[in-house]
Amino acid sequence: MSSHQVLAGFHAVTARLRHAPSSIKELYVEASRRDKRMQSFIEQAQAANIRIHPVGIERLDGLSRGVKHQGVVALAEENKLAIDVDEVLDLLEDRGQAPLLLILDGVTDPHNLGACLRTADAAGVHAVIAPRDRAVGLNSTVQRVACGAAETVPYIMVTNLARTMRQLKDRDVWLVGTDDQAQGTMYSVDARRPMAWVMGAEGEGMRRLTRETCDELVTIPMAGSVESLNVSVASAVCLYESVRQRSSG
């Protein structure tokens, strides 16, 4: 079981059923649950030829390792959407699309990452990039909070974030970081160009080298007494400025 990814909850498992059903190796459902949602889910799994194991809730609790499972847990092979940043950029170049990326530096809370992935999916982000040594992986909590977005948005963990950022710059991707002390605001950014928003975790923010590697630093206007936004909310605000600009022609 250690070699498999644990997916818990209807959203996470249903998303995998839609996008990569063959990766699901074992599917467990609460034997005593017979409501309409569960019946519909079971029919969907059966249509994908997934073997279903009805089990007790104690077994599901053990499999999900403390994550809320709603009576559904799957063991699956890891679903890799992209191997590296170059793969993403090459594909976008072939399609004639301007990259929109999200870089997260130091986001270790799985709830924050899940929310960031969900927003990234909604905003049409092509990939989310994070350092391998200072970030949470795609664990079952992230999968649940992301509500299926972890199955559609590539989450690429890199060994050296600053080096990856320089590689993006070499490929003409403009790196825009958010910083409370910056002069310009997010509304001054030309978000139609190939770009990546760079976000730091709450409290510490971006690391020094990450900040220095950005092409541009901007603030998110704050009219109230709160000093900063949660990283997932800040990501949403900035990404949707990109969506606004790109959709307005």
> Residue 249 annotated as binding?
no
> Residue 200 annotated as binding?
yes
> Residue 229 annotated as binding?
yes
- Closest-CA residue to 226 (of 180, 177, 169, 166): 180
Which secondary structure element, helix H or strand E, spans residue 140, and what is its range?
Answer: helix 140-146
Q: 87: which residues sit within 8 A by CB, 6+ positions away?
A: none
Which secondary structure element, helix H or strand E, spans residue 216, and what is its range?
Answer: strand 216-219
Q: Is 206 exposed, middle or buried (0-12, 13-18, 19+ CB in 10 A)?
A: buried
Q: Hey, what are 99's tokens?
A: 């990259």
> Rounded to an integer, what distance in angstroms lies between the CA atom of residue 84 and that of residue 215?
22
Q: 230: which residues sit within 8 A by CB, 6+ positions away?
A: 112, 202
Q: Hey, what are 142's tokens?
A: 């992230």
The dihedral formed by the CA atoms of 89, 90, 92 and 94, expressed in degrees to the nearest 10? 160
> Rounded to an integer, what distance in angstroms lies between the CA atom of residue 184 and that of residue 50?
53
> Rounded to an integer, what distance in angstroms lies between the CA atom of residue 22 and that of residue 13?
12
- Closest-CA residue to 233 (of 119, 114, 110): 119
Binding positions are 200, 220, 229
| Binding-site annotation: residue ranges for S-adenosyl-L-methionine | 200, 220, 229
